[in-house]
Amino acid sequence: MPATSTFDAIILGAGAAGLFCAAQAGQAGLKVLLIDHAEKVAEKIRISGGGRCNFTNRDLDVRAPHKHYVGQNPQFCRSALSRYTPADFMALLDRHGIAYEEKHKGQLFASTSAEDIIRMLLAECATGQVAHWQPCAVKKISFLPSSADAASAGSYEISTDRGVVRAPRLVLATGGLSIPKIGATDFGYRIAQQFQLPLVERHPGLVPLTFDGAAWQPYAQLAGLALPVEISTGSKKERMSFHEDLLFTHRGLSGPAVLQISSYWKAGTPLQINLLPGTDLAALLQQAKARSRKLVVNELAALLPTRLAEAWVSQQPELQRPINEASDKALGKLAEQLSRWEITPTGSEGYKKAEVTLGGIATQALSQQTMECKTQPGLYAIGEVVDITGWLGGYNFQWAWASAFACAQAM
């Protein structure tokens, strides 16, 4: 049995939140051990943003986190987000000489590669003299009660395949369930259960949605086609809408519009999609009817991608004629269908394609200032393992940095 080493803090998970927390706590003078079971460090940073990591978003409104975050209580993240802002992370990149650029809607990406951000986080950990065990499997976690000997009372004891370690502070930074093939596990949730922390049910988020059988058959041929839309879901009271690009796939719908709405979509309910947002299609079709003898499909192809116009009209015999011969009723129905296409997904592509996990450790179990568990002293949870999920566009990494910072400052 190897001798037990002692640290001030042990952090489980060397992803975005764990690396940043380890670096900050180490630089604040704590003796930190960072443990991860995967072969490679920070795989999600590496594959994020198409390999360029969309690391934050300039449009984040820290006073109104519910605008960009989902969870039972999105206000929970306000404290941490306001103490570590997108500007703070940008300043860190500046100090390391890493170039970045803004793309769509405030999204900031590394100009060269996500690897630059991983190298930066590892360099920050080295400055903080963080011990890093990876790959390292955790076998068992125990909390040593106050009846233990004076030196270890109130500590966490972690048994790993590299030995037994102890610390008075344990941070869960093990992320969510998406992309299991690069190391995602339910470990954080299991540890939460071990310490009786409440969990909010988990679902894939930021995920393509799928449709089964005959309902999808006319659209399957459109795979690869993309267009800007307005997409909505939910009842009037809790309606969510996004203006983004929609992408047709062989099995359903994807693209930023669908990834965003998927975090709000409830199984069994429909999506409403306006395929021509900002256009009065009924009026345009009536004008075309008055001046043109072209086929309906050709008039429609002037407004929509041709393949989509063809797929749509091919399902409706009353539209397969010159537009001046189409009835007002048929044209009105066409305008209504295209500006309010209602379609009910049968499911999603699941965790193998989801960018995030909705749900997780319930925020009511944690202090929003420190991320420490209210009922379990010295146990902290940060990043995606917590029931806080950001929109597409850098909001999830910003939550990882901010929650890690709040935790490191408090330890």
Contacting residues toward ligand FDA, per CB under 6 A:
12-18, 35-38, 44, 47-49, 53-54, 138, 173-175, 178-179, 183, 185, 187, 355-356, 383-385, 394-397, 400
Instruction: Please report which residue ranges of 128-212 form alpha helices under DSSP H.
Output: 187-194
Q: Which is nearer to ligand FDA, 42 or 334 (CB)?
A: 42
Q: Which is nearer to ligand FDA, 192 or 319 (CB)?
A: 192
Q: Closest separation between CB of residue 389 and ligand FDA, Å? A: 8
Compute the half-sphere exposure of residue 25: CA atoms within 13 Å on the CB side of its CA.
31
Q: Which is nearer to ligand FDA, 47 or 303 (CB)?
A: 47
Q: Which is nearer to ligand FDA, 345 or 393 (CB)?
A: 393
Q: Which is nearer to ligand FDA, 38 or 220 (CB)?
A: 38
Q: Closest separation between CB of residue 190 and ligand FDA, Å? A: 8
Q: Closest separation between CB of residue 175 and ligand FDA, Å? A: 3
Residue 282, SS3 per DSSP: helix
Q: Which is nearer to ligand FDA, 175 or 345 (CB)?
A: 175
Beta-sheet strands, E only, within 107-215: 107-110, 131-133, 138-143, 156-160, 163-167, 169-172, 199-205, 209-210
Question: How far is the C-alpha of 32 from the C-alpha of 120, rounded, in Å?
Answer: 18
Q: Which is nearer to ligand FDA, 12 or 288 (CB)?
A: 12
Residue 105, SS3 per DSSP: helix
Tokens 């397969």 correspond to 320
Nearest by Cα to 67 from 371, 387, 395: 395
Q: Closest separation between CB of residue 8 and ligand FDA, Å? A: 19
Q: Which is nearer to ligand FDA, 35 or 296 (CB)?
A: 35
Using CB positions, name the residue nearest to ligand FDA. Answer: 15
Please, are residues 114 and 46 in contact by the beta-carbon 8 Å criterion? yes
Tokens 């999830």 correspond to 396
Q: Closest separation between CB of residue 23 and ligand FDA, Å? A: 13
Who contacts 253 (Cβ-Cβ below 8 Å, separation ≥6)? 208, 209, 211, 246, 247, 345
Question: How far is the C-alpha of 250 from the C-alpha of 271, rounded, in Å?
Answer: 18
Residue 144, SS3 per DSSP: coil
Amino acid identity of 364? Answer: Q
Tokens 């969990």 correspond to 199
Q: Closest separation between CB of residue 80 and ligand FDA, Å? A: 13
Q: What would you report as the CA-atom Rg of the chain, rounded to the nearest whole angstrom? A: 25
Q: Closest separation between CB of residue 385 and ligand FDA, Å? A: 6
Q: Which is nearer to ligand FDA, 263 or 274 (CB)?
A: 263
Report residue 269 as tokens. Answer: 């309910």
Q: Which is nearer to ligand FDA, 219 or 351 (CB)?
A: 351
Q: Closest separation between CB of residue 65 and ligand FDA, Å? A: 14
Q: Closest separation between CB of residue 187 and ligand FDA, Å? A: 3
Question: How far is the C-alpha of 128 from the C-alpha of 394, rounded, in Å?
Answer: 26
Cis ω on the peptide bond leading into residue 135 (within 30° of 0)? yes
CA-to-CA separations, 406 to 98, 160, 263, in angstroms, rounded: 24, 27, 25
Tokens 């256009």 correspond to 279
Q: Closest separation between CB of residue 272 and ligand FDA, Å? A: 27
Q: Which is nearer to ligand FDA, 185 or 272 (CB)?
A: 185
CA-to-CA separations, 354 to 78, 180, 304, 346, in angstroms, rounded: 25, 10, 29, 16
Q: Closest separation between CB of residue 43 and ligand FDA, Å? A: 6
What is the C-alpha end-to-end distance of the chain, expressed in Å? 30
Q: What is the DSSP letter of 404?
A: H
